[in-house]
Amino acid sequence: MDIGQLIGELQLPKLGLFLPELVVLITAFLLFTLDLMLSSPLKRRVLPSLSAIGYLLALMSVGVSGKTHGDTFYGSFTNDGLGSLVKLFELAIALTVVAFSSRYFRSKRSFYGEFYYMLAFTLLGAMILVSSYNLIIIYVSLELVSIGFYILTALLRGSFISKEGAFKYLILGGLSIALASYGAVFMYIYAGSIDLREILTYSGKDYHYLILGLVFFLIGFAIKIGAVPFHFWLPDAYQGAPTPVTAFMASVGKLAFFLPVVRIMPLIQEKFSLAWMLTVGVIAAVTMLYGNFVALVQRDIKRLLAYSSIAHSGYVLAAVAVTEVIGLKAVLYFLLVYAIMAAGSFFVVALLERAEGWNNETWEFSGLRFNLPYLAFAFMVYMFALLGVPPTVGFVGKALVFMALSFDGLWWLAFIMILSTAISTGYYVRLVVLMYMKDKEKDVSVVGKSYGEVVSLIFLTLLTVALAVVPDVLWQVLSPASEALFAR
């Protein structure tokens, strides 16, 4: 074969489908290079600005790449409506994280230039993870996201809790990737392919290899999303990490780790409908109840929100158990709106941590409306949204999950979901009561809020209500993407 024939058979990658990831990759390397070259005062000004510009360009490029769907890099990367929608949310939240990070780290006297390029590389991994069926690409992007989170969790100078949380995350995160890798090996043995679409549509005789592979693969992701009994790393990592990083993990991390499971939902359900429904349903029920019960007794606000995050993983898993297309739609809707609620609530905590003498104890919220009425109002909106009170996106999300469960006849799981939501009332409403019905215990003042922080918080708060008032806006985008995925 001459060189001309060889070049003719090679498929050049369609970089237009990979454009948002390419922009984030270039941004990450620029940040890395400038961190090595610039002095510390220059880093504080240049790195946040460059990060924001890069993410804005990537946001705009999603609109360009989203017009064309298909596979590239020899089928290892898939650009479709679902991936484009999730990337929009990931990039928007990354922008808000950058807006909150600069002054937060300055107040903690813990500025590291590494934060910005590690954030960019982690975001890149999350964006690739939501757009692939290829086992090798899933493994590489999962490692990229995980290593980024380990490092970002530990980036709080002089904090033992931060290092302890990062170490626990590292140990259990390494276990999860090892299990997912074993699962990938067994699935390859079964079908002789590294593409999940081919593996799950292959009709081989050695089903035990496929079942064993899926069990290991899904347990690996269950650890990452904090499903019970694989949740032990999550409260310590969320509490110890810098709070903007916690917001990033609770929102973008949740989206990234759930999406591979979402992509293979229709394919697994076609082969193992009853087993899938029962297994995932039981894990969802235990996760919902455990997360909410333990959150009731928490006194540290970040640990309380961490156990709330575990409970919300249970709500998402309840919809994952549904074998109809409505279940897939409910999963995606709830994941996207939870990203908004979780990010907003942790950003409020990040601002409060800059107040003198603030220790993240729940009693410190007493009378917050007298000191910081706008923060108290924003936090109340997020608490009601997480609880599922109308008119907030949390109500729409939980209503969709309940509807999906009823469509599939999973009434026992719907009852447990209602029960666990009732339990969560105890700690969400308690925080609102402290802020609005108690006298203030201490003076709380946040000095020097940036324009970016104020705009980000207003944007997330308005979005929390607006998407509930006009839920059709998100639904019209999400619904075709879900149906296209289920049709495959």
In a domain, 124, yes or no: no
Q: Which of 128, 127, 130, 97 is nearest to 115 (CA)?
A: 97
Residue 329 lies in a domain: yes
Asked whether the CA dihedral 263, 269, 271, 276 is positive or negative, the reply is: positive
pLDDT in tens, 292-335: 999 999 999 999 999 999 999 999 999 998 878 888 888 999 99
pLDDT number for residue 1 = 46
Whole-model pTM above 0.85?
A: yes
Q: How far apart are CA 336 and CA 352, in angstroms?
A: 25
pLDDT beneath 50, residues of the chain: 1, 6-7
Q: Please give the tally of structural domains in the chain.
A: 1
The DSSP letter of residue 15 is G
Q: Residue 135 half-sphere exposure, CB side, CA atoms within 13 Å?
A: 26
Q: How many CB atoms lie within 10 A of CB 33?
A: 11
The whole-angstrom separation of Cα 349 and Cα 195 is 42
> Looking at residue 476, what is its pLDDT?
87
How far CA 411 is from CA of 224, 227, 287, 312, 384, in Å, comes to 28, 21, 17, 19, 25
Residue 383 lies in a domain: yes
Q: Angle, to 10 degrees, between the axis of helix 81-107 and the axis of helix 325-352?
A: 10
The 3-state DSSP class for residue 134 equals strand
Please report whether residue 354 resides in a domain.
yes
Residue position matching structure tokens 């596979």: 71
- Residue 204 in any domain: the answer is no
| Cα–Cα distance measured from residue 353 to residue 449, given in angstroms and rounded to the nearest whole number | 12
DSSP state of 302: H
Per-residue pLDDT at 66: 63
The whole-number pLDDT of residue 6 equals: 44
pLDDT for 473: 86
Query: Residue 401: which domain range?
Result: 272-488
- Alpha carbon separation from 212 to 75, 192, 217 (Å, rounded): 25, 15, 9
Give the amino acid at 261: V
Residue 352 placed within a domain: yes
Backbone angles phi, psi at 157, to 5 degrees: -60, 130
In a domain, 66, yes or no: no
Cβ proximity of 169 and 231 under 8 Å: no
Nearest to 266 by CA among 327, 181, 193: 327
pLDDT of amino acid 488: 58
Q: 142 and 221 in contact (C-beta within 8 Å)? A: no
Whether 156 maps to a domain, the answer reads no
Name residues whose C-beta falls within 8 Å of residue 354's C-beta, 6 or more positions apart in sequence.
103, 104, 107, 446, 447, 448
